[in-house]
Amino acid sequence: MSSSTLALPAPDRGWILYSGGSETARGEDLRALAGKRGDLVVGIPAASVSTFVVDLPPAGTDLHESMIRAQVDKRGLSARGGALIDYERIAGGERGDTFAVRVVPELPADCLVTTAAGYHLSASLRNSGGTKPSATVWREHGRLVLGVAIGGSVVHVQVLSGKPEVGKPLAGEINLVFLGLRGESVFEESAPGEVILSLEGVGEPEWIEFRSAMSLPVRCERPVIPARVSARDRLLPPEVTRQRGRRRAAVRNLALGAIGLVIYTVVGVWVWKDAQVTKREIASLERRLSIIQPDVERVQLVEERWRSLEPAFEKDLFPVVQLSRITSALPGSGVVVREYRTNGRNLRIRGQARDVQLANRLLEDLKGMAEFGRYDWSMPNPRVERNNTATFEIEGKLKNEGADS
């Protein structure tokens, strides 16, 4: 991801904000300086970075990361876990590949900006040597830093331990660093050819003293900040990744909520319109019902009158005929009818039987009589008395009585 807004550690203290390669603001608090910018690339201070060069045997590209992580663990740089590991291939051949590895064991808390677009190494952003092997010296958070680059990639970064002034002690320390790097094969083939002082305010006496003590040619160059920079994905802190996920989830939920609101509104309007149509249909049916209501009432009155007169015309509904048929269904002994009620259409028989079986037998006999074929018979469970007799209640209802009414 390319961005034109960059935050780098200041030479003294705090941070400097650049836009398009030009300084726009300074401040001690990076979060306050960044504000709510979403296009900011943060340069990780050199003091938080460890670098080394490693030669790997020939292997597939999918194995490089695991092999490099093994080298990081071997050097004890990921002991705390969660280290940010970035690497670049700087050379290769039949014998294998050479990688420049940069490790951030623990990102300082004041460098964490969860809204940042990404992270990069401040040392890589200050490399002034182009594609030729070079060494650059700059000041960062009050300390002098040496960065060695090969082919445009920073392969070694070291915060110098001497005083933050340019002079003979600084040159001696840098010469010792170069002597230590000679053991690496990549530096034997691509050793820096010059030292670049990317510093401001260096006096002539200091410049002369430093140059006379250095083993390599020295030149001064004003700090050049790139106008645009691409973040390194491998240097993105997990907290920033999680925050991005939460922001994406919030935007997704907001979008889903808006879509749901639109759907709810559309459905609500459709339901309201449908309710209005239904309301008009109900009103129309009510008007029709009010027109035929007198006829319905007359039909109901005729039905009620017929119900009261029907027993006089239907022999099967005569109470005496029904009682006679019930008596004929009684067994020879063991069952006594205590009460018989009828309204011409429904029957109710209450009595007492010698046992439950006789009561059930009476019920089955009534169901089996052809004369009572138009009735539905039912009997709740009889109640057993202390003397083991059973009190029962049998009810008969005309079939399809509900439909007729």
- What local confidence, expressed as pLDDT, does residue 392 receive? 93
CA angle 10, 142, 178 (to 5 degrees): 105
Tell whether the torsion through CA atoms of 238, 243, 246 and 247 is positive or negative.
Answer: negative
DSSP letter string over 202-252? --HHHHHHHHHH-SS-EEE------SSEE--GGG--HHHHHHHHHHHHHHH
Q: What's the length of the chain?
A: 405
- Residues 297 and 375 occupy one common structural domain: no
- What local confidence, expressed as pLDDT, does residue 342 receive? 86
- Residues 247 and 190 occupy one common structural domain: no
Q: Which of 223, 242, 261 is the last residue of a domain?
A: 242
Q: What is the pTM of this model?
A: 0.61
299 DSSP β-pair partners: none
Domains of the chain: total = 3
- Residues 230 and 260 occupy one common structural domain: no
Kindly report, residue by residue over 128-155, the tens digit of the pLDDT. Answer: 556 778 889 888 888 899 999 888 888 8
- What local confidence, expressed as pLDDT, does residue 259 receive? 92
- Residues 231 and 330 occupy one common structural domain: no
User: Domain limits at 300?
Assistant: 243-310
CATH number at residue 347: 3.30.1360.100
Q: Give residue 319's Cα distance to chain centre.
A: 78
Which residues, other chains included, contact 357 with Cβ-Cβ below 8 Å and sequence gap of 6+? none
Give 153: exposed, middle or buried? Use CB within 10 Å, 0-12, 13-18, 19+: middle
- What local confidence, expressed as pLDDT, does residue 322 receive? 82
Kindly report, residue by residue over 184-201, the tens digit of the pLDDT. Answer: 777 777 788 888 888 887
- Residues 334 and 392 occupy one common structural domain: yes
Parallel/antiparallel/unpaired status of strands 218-220 and 195-197: parallel
Q: Which of 226, 242, 258 is the last residue of a domain?
A: 242
- Residues 271 and 237 occupy one common structural domain: no
Q: Which of 218, 242, 266 is the last residue of a domain?
A: 242
CA angle 365, 371, 376 (to 5 degrees): 65
Token readout for 159 is 């915060």
CB contact at 8 A, 144 and 164: yes
Collect the ranges in the chain with pLDDT lower than 70: 1, 79-81, 127-130, 162, 306-314, 344, 401-405
- Residues 91 and 214 occupy one common structural domain: yes
- Residues 196 and 333 occupy one common structural domain: no
- Residues 279 and 352 occupy one common structural domain: no
- Residues 182 and 287 occupy one common structural domain: no
